[in-house]
Amino acid sequence: AEALGKRLVQDGDFEAVLYFPPDFNKQLSAFREQLRKLDADDSPQAKLMQPVVPSPTVFFNTANEKSQLAYRRLRDVLDQWS
């Protein structure tokens, strides 16, 4: 699936492809669980910890202006989400 996403952008079928890895749901669940544990932990170390937010991959063509614009728009949406 990842290779297909890259190829679709390279072939010009899409300006950008948003790829979610097969285990994205597990990554997201683990992230949420880490947040719950940190919320319940009153230690100073817990206050400093920041779990990594899982993120999909955006494939785009750096040589194509429309593709770059699509990438920026997708990144803006993803940044708002995380």
Q: Where are the beta strands (DSSP E) in 12-69?
A: 16-19, 57-60
Q: Which pLDDT score is estimated for 43?
A: 84
CB 14: neighbour CB atoms within 10 A?
A: 17
pLDDT in tens, 17-64: 999 999 999 999 999 999 998 888 888 887 788 888 888 999 999 999
pLDDT at 13 > cutoff 90? yes
pTM of the model: 0.77
Structure letter (DSSP) for residue 19? E
- pLDDT given at position 82: 66
Is residue 16 within 8 A of residue 9, CB to CB? The reply is: yes
- Per-residue pLDDT at 68 exceeds 90: yes
The DSSP call for residue 12 is T
Asked if the model's pLDDT at residue 81 lies above 80, the reply is no
